[in-house]
A = this chain, B = another copy of it.
Amino acid sequence: MIQINENYLKLQASYLFADIAKRIQAFQEANPDMPIIKLGIGDVTKPLPQACIEAMHKAVDEMGEESSFHGYGPEQGYAFLRETIAKHDFQARGAEISADEIFISDGAKCDTGNIQEILATDISIAIPDPVYPVYRDTNVMAGRTGEFKDGRFEGITYLESTADNNFIPEIPEKAVDLIYLCFPNNPTGATITKAELQKWVDYAREHKALILFDAAYEAFIQDPELPRSIYEIPGAKEVAIEFRSFSKTAGFTGTRCAFTVVPKECMGYDSSGKAHSLHALWNRRHSTKFNGVAYPVQRAAEAVYSKQGQAETQERIAYYLENARLVREAMAEQGFECVGGENSPYIWIRGNMDSWEFFDLLLNKAGVVCTPGAGFGQCGEGYIRISAFNSRENVVEAMKRFREALA
């Protein structure tokens, strides 16, 4: 008899987006003439940079000619892209990451979900709250948690990010082996300083723990003092794996390209305490269960680093950050506490009411959709997340409606 992985039965069905859709539909039926503005989803709205479009067209043409056709590429990604990334994103910032420590993939979601496969099942894990649910759910699937009770999974150390700690979780009292961190954070938009990140690196080195650092939003960092990569922190290469994406940087959400950095010094241990290279393990996983990213997509990603690509990317980032500033300004004017939005496309807003109440208020009074914070975990209760990914026109109109509705 074919038995299923029963860990899947522990997963909680996500009603968040279904619930949101239901409420939107009810509002729309009651207010057929009111155009709804969606500031809920973290998806970009600006098109791909022209530099990427041109590179992709050129690569597509190559695929149509026998002499320039590309079949299977290296599972780890083409050297042209890995070398460009290493130079631009790391070496230029003093982080000595080499091209062969970079693994190109089709998404940071996939990588942050898959990475735990190379680790033992009985390690102890620490996951932020509020959180991007993929970290948690992939560990539930792998059997690293107990049942879901009272709103949380047994066996997870929750790293609480609240106003009390400025949304930077404290080092847990209970020793943990695997730590998920995400900065600039989704959903709170909070950033971490080098000094604060150093504490985590020091902890990991002391306890032989591993940090999984999700830097998918690093391109939004404007403050030159903030680290864009964990490898700007001394010692991090021994204890951290970093995830990056072209999704939010250059609008690749529908084009699919990302990468993971696994430094060669980064070690895991077997049950006898012997060290093993996580780079070798991930390479084995990646080359056994993945077959590389489409050649035209890798050429498009390479073009992000061209002079034109950089200019276009910066323009997009600035555009979304100006949206974020407008949201912060409007919400602060109405007396709401906000975090994020300065080095991040997300603004995390305390509502002085429960998340869904705040959601309903904004939907019903302003026709604007946000994401209720409670959907990201217990510590999200009382908050909403507003995304800056929309047109200026829509953001301006949404804020106008907020001012009228909340006044």
Binding site for B on A (CB under 8 A): 1-6, 8-9, 11, 41, 43-48, 50, 53, 56-57, 60-61, 63-66, 69-73, 106-107, 109-110, 113-114, 117-123, 134, 137-138, 141, 177-178, 207-210, 251, 253-256, 268-271, 273, 276, 278, 281, 284-285, 288-297, 391
Contact = CB atoms under 8 A, between A and B. Distances in A.
B110 A291 contact: yes
Contacts of A178: 2
10 contacts: A1-B273, A2-B119, A3-B122, A5-B121, A9-B270, A56-B63, A60-B60, A106-B256, A134-B289, A256-B294
A11 B53 CA distance: 41
B43 A63 contact: no
B1 A207 contact: yes
Nearest to A69: B47
Given A63-B48, A69-B254, A269 B2 contact: yes
Q: So how many copies of this chain end up in the complex?
A: 2
A295 B63 contact: no
Contact of A3 (B9, B137, B138, B268): B268
Contacts of A9: 270, 276
A133 B110 CA distance: 22
A250 to B, nearest CB: 11
Given A64-B48, A114-B289, A254-B63, A3 B119 contact: yes
A349 to B, nearest CB: 23
A123 B41 CA distance: 40
A261 to B, nearest CB: 17
B288 A134 contact: yes
A271 B69 contact: no
B276 A106 contact: no
A364 to B, nearest CB: 27
Given A57-B57, A72-B43, A294-B294, A288 B137 contact: yes
Contacts of A53: 60-61, 63-64
A4 B118 contact: yes
* For the complex of A and B, 8 pairs with smallest distance between CB atoms: A113-B289, A3-B120, A4-B268, A53-B64, A70-B254, A43-B71, A2-B210, A71-B253
Given A4-B269, A208-B1, A56 B45 contact: no
Given A9-B270, A289-B109, A119 B4 contact: yes
B71 A3 contact: no
Contacts of A1: 177, 207-209, 269, 273
A290 B114 CA distance: 9
Contacts of A4: 118-120, 268-270, 276, 278, 281
A391 B67 CA distance: 11
Contacts of A6: 120, 270-271
Contacts of A141: 117, 285, 288
A209 B9 CA distance: 20
B48 A56 contact: no
A66 B43 contact: no
B2 A289 contact: no
A47 B66 CA distance: 5
A122 B2 CA distance: 10
Given A4-B276, A5-B117, 20 more contacts: A1-B209, A2-B119, A2-B208, A3-B122, A3-B269, A4-B281, A6-B120, A43-B71, A45-B69, A47-B66, A48-B69, A50-B64, A56-B60, A70-B254, A109-B289, A113-B288, A114-B289, A117-B141, A137-B288, A255-B295
